Amino acid sequence: MSEVKTVGLVGGGVIGGGWAARCLANGLDVIAYDPAPNGEAILRGKVANAWPALTRIGLHPDASQDRLRMASSIEEVAAASDLVQESVPERLDLKIRIHSQIDAAAAPDVLICSSTSGLLPSDFQAECEHPERVLVGHPFNPVYLLPLVEIVGGKKTAQEARTRAGAFYEKIGMYPVQCRTEVEGFLSDRLQEALWRENLHMLAEGHATTKEMDDVVVYGPGLRWAFMGVNRTFALAGGDQGMRHFMEQFGPALKLPWTKLEAPELTEELIDTVVKGTEEQLADITIPEMEQLRDNCLIEIMEALSKYREGAGEVLLRLREKNQ
């Protein structure tokens, strides 16, 4: 496979826009397709809103928003791309149909990567003539800042495709994790989903407000998770004796009713509670303003971590060194 110079995007919403911004910032050409009547305006707006953060991180010498162009069909994107990143809604029937369209129009060695948050690539391969190049490249929002991307292969995905995808993502400043098995929700979303479900239980039962549930993450474990994750955090909780002591001390608590695990009934009352609480939290700021505030905060955290070459900070250092 030749070097990836043109990235094709199918779907231009929040995730597609994030991919566009990251690829453009790394000096690549981007060709995108989105069927929405105002799809181009939304996509270009997402890129423009992300650009200040990307400028602050450090742009590739060839970076330009002008290297984004729109296509009139999925087939046009597939035929013009060295790699295609699909970011359409999470509907399996839609994913199967669109992957088949991309597969039919793209050269046989072009990778087809899905941004799905938890659907399985084996299912996407069902109607593809070249299923060996179909896989998942699951990013995290904002795609243009957060380095993690989970690579998941399907039953017919070639190891070479997984390796090539990892090399591409690393080149554009990401931290690829090769998932060992094809499991629904992959790795990170399973953790996020567990936290989200427990959050909903606390809200449904009136134990807290949305702000209070956010606060107990923001001012506590969230700061540790930014560079230590779950396991290292708990290992430190065991003191000098490490994780074994932690497990001996806190293991019995796993039998206590400290978590619900199963999702609560998503009643209209619970939906209203979540919506009302978050609307109050965001009442004094627009979404684009909140996105830029989030971006600035993430950059500050990553820059702080870069001083110690830890976590996302080390990835940021490598990207800056490459783009100098």
At 2, the pLDDT band (50, 70, 90 cuts) reads: low
At 317, the pLDDT band (50, 70, 90 cuts) reads: very high
Region of poorest pLDDT, from 179-183, 246-250, 309-313: 246-250
The span from the CA of 113 to the CA of 99, in Å, is 9
Q: What homologous superfamily is domain 188-284 in, according to CATH?
A: N-(1-d-carboxylethyl)-l-norvaline Dehydrogenase; domain 2 (1.10.1040.10)
Task: Determine contact, residues 165/110, Cβ cutoff 8 Å.
Answer: no
Q: What is the DSSP letter of 126?
A: G
Domain layout of the chain by residue ranges: 6-178, 188-284
| SS3 state at 168 | helix
pLDDT the model gives residue 249: 82
Judged on CB neighbours under 10 Å (0-12, 13-18, 19+), 136 is buried
The span from the CA of 63 to the CA of 52, in Å, is 13
The span from the CA of 266 to the CA of 273, in Å, is 11
Q: Greater confidence, 78 or 219? A: 78
The reply to whether the predicted model has a pTM over 0.85 is: yes
Peptide bond into 108 cis (omega under 30): no
Is residue 1's pLDDT more than 70? Answer: no
Task: State the maximum Cα–Cα separation within the chain, in Å, rounded to a whole number.
Answer: 61
Q: Which amino acid is at 133?
A: R
φ, ψ at 138 (rounded to 5°): -90, 115
The average confidence (pLDDT) of the chain is 92
Any idea of the CA torsion for 252, 256, 261, 264, to the nearest 10 degrees?
Answer: 180
The span from the CA of 117 to the CA of 150, in Å, is 9
φ, ψ at 110 (rounded to 5°): -80, 125
Helices (H), the chain: 14-25, 39-57, 74-80, 92-105, 121-124, 159-171, 188-204, 210-218, 221-228, 231-237, 242-250, 268-281, 287-306, 311-323
Region of poorest pLDDT, from 72-76, 195-199, 221-225: 221-225
Structure tokens at 236: 């430190």
Q: What homologous superfamily is domain 6-178 in, according to CATH?
A: NAD(P)-binding Rossmann-like Domain (3.40.50.720)
The fraction of the chain above a pLDDT of 70, given in percent, is 99
Structure tokens at 203: 């809200």
Q: What is the DSSP letter of 264?
A: P
User: Which residue in this structure is represented by tokens 């399985």?
Assistant: 120
